[in-house]
Amino acid sequence: MIINQSAQLDSLAAALVAAQGAVKVASKDALNPHLKSKYADLGSVWDACREALSANGLAVSQHPGVDGAYVTLDTMLVHASGQYVTSRCAAPLAQQTAQGVGSCVSYLRRYALAAIVGVVSDVLDDDGSAASSQPAPRPAVDHQARSQPVQQAARKVEQAFLGSRTVEISGIQPACDKCGGAMWDNRPRKAEGKMNPKAPDFACKDKTCEGRIWKFVPQDNPPAPQVDGPLFNDEETPF
């Protein structure tokens, strides 16, 4: 954001208009080893705008600093007339080392320089695309369909042992309806008073996911047919 500027900007504005007409496209000739993508490094951004700025009496001065856990950078675009405009940007410091600060400053310098002058890169902006891209939505999970294999196994047991009835099936838990992953069962802790009773019955185990089931209602099993008399006769006893 712009944090300061001279009282007049007419000379600077005219010079910047002329300079931007001559600014080149920055070449992406550096490789990010972590993202396996190319990007325009600080040298490429300067090569794209240095001649255009100098020819029109413009210069850029950048001043790094530290504000708590953030590295800051003030960038000044100044004209030979003395007119100027400054902006500030910041980024969190990932590593508390001199190398970490240097890397963060270099990152801010190239983005701030490109922004204040109007430099663009020659291919798709990988960093911008990564920041703006949204994960593909996952289909909703059908909890009833997910439990069908176990329910069918219970029905087979009831059919094999006439008169029996499955009263509980353990191990069936709902999947997260947002990401499809496993969920924490909070019901025992809520029943023991170890958790806020207003907490959800189930919460996704992925801390980055917001999947919640506030009140879980398991599917009721249909009652098995009841049979009067002994379950087995002497010939049918399986053991």
Same domain? For 112 and 18 the reply is yes
* Structural domain span for residue 147: 143-213
Residue 78 in tokens: 């100044």
The per-residue pLDDT for 134 is 54
Q: Counting runs of H as helices and runs of E as strands, what totals does the chain give?
A: 7, 9
In a domain, 62, yes or no: yes
pLDDT digits (tens, 9 = 90+) for 181-210: 778 888 888 888 888 888 888 888 887 788
Task: Write the CB contacts of 223 (distance below 8 Å, at least 6 apart in sequence).
Answer: 165
The per-residue pLDDT for 69 is 85
Residue after which a domain boundary falls, among 104, 132, 160: 132
Confidence category of residue 145, pLDDT binned at 50, 70, 90: low
Residue after which a domain boundary falls, among 132, 152, 187: 132
Q: How far apart are CA 116 and CA 95, in angstroms?
A: 27
Task: Write the CB contacts of 113 (distance below 8 Å, at least 6 apart in sequence).
Answer: 42, 45, 46, 49, 60, 62, 75, 119
Instruction: Compute the average pLDDT of residues 158-167.
Output: 68
Whole-number percent of the chain with pLDDT over 70: 66
In a domain, 192, yes or no: yes
Count of structural domains, the chain: 2
The per-residue pLDDT for 185 is 87
The pLDDT of residue 164 is above 80: no
